[in-house]
Amino acid sequence: MLRFENICKRYGTRQVLKNVSGCADSFLRIDGPSGSGKTTLIRILLGLECPDSGTVHREGAMSAVFQEDRLCGYLTAAQNIGLVLPGKQSAEQVRSAMEKVGLTEEIWNTPAELLSGGQRRRVALLRALLAPAQNILLDEPFTGLDDAALEQAMHFTKQQVQNRTLILATHNPVTAEFFGGPVLHLSGT
């Protein structure tokens, strides 16, 4: 569960977030145009940035898909996922998840630096979904995916979240329609 109240954030003279509040028990979609503060809010919720004012209540561990993929280029796709899993996770479980989002066996042992943009994005998504976290925060997680891959990735995300909390920041209408609401709209200030 994630709850945030009256979050304000300013960079220099630019007010990015002003009195933003919300609560995510199971799902919250953050909507808004580019530059409206979606990524800033996600970073604040993840504890990577401090708000100028306001409070954030977090319960449970976090996982995320960041605006960038943030994969270790020298680790393989599977190792990047294994990095966030506790102990020796079943390789079979990771492999089966990879297949569900259209990542073939060939990609399994490929270093992340050699993967395409869409493949990297899916590895980052799997890392966030397979991590043992109660709160999953996804910042434009489906960027760079073609229609078929997008469809697979969205279904897999919905199926994998189960009874955890999902916060999804997106301004993609297809993704927005698929996941629905509740919605927190950021208009920028």
| Site for another protein, rule CB under 8 A | 46-48, 61-64, 66, 68, 70, 72, 74-75, 78-79, 81-85, 87-89, 91, 94, 127, 131, 133
Of 1 and 176, which has the nearer Cβ to another protein? 1
Task: Please state the closest distance from residue 111 (CB atom) to another protein, in A.
Answer: 11
Task: Please state the closest distance from residue 60 (CB atom) to another protein, in A.
Answer: 11
- 11 forms beta bridges with 14
Task: Please state the closest distance from residue 53 (CB atom) to another protein, in A.
Answer: 23
Q: Return d(Cα 134, Cα 116) in angstroms, integer.
A: 29
Task: Please state the closest distance from residue 174 (CB atom) to another protein, in A.
Answer: 27
Query: CB under 8 Å to 183, separation ≥6 — which residues?
Result: 28, 29, 30, 31, 176
Of 70 and 158, which has the nearer Cβ to another protein? 70
Task: Please state the closest distance from residue 87 (CB atom) to another protein, in A.
Answer: 8
> How would DSSP label each residue in 10-55?
EETTEEEEEEEEEEESSEEEEE--TTSSHHHHHHHHHTSS--SEEE
Of 82 and 188, which has the nearer Cβ to another protein? 82
Of 88 and 146, which has the nearer Cβ to another protein? 88
Torsion sign, CA atoms 77, 179, 134, 43: positive
Of 47 and 182, which has the nearer Cβ to another protein? 47
Find, among 21, 23, 25, the residue nearest to 7 by Cα.
21
Structure token pair of residue 122:
């899916």
Half-sphere exposure of 1 (CA within 13 A, CB side): 5
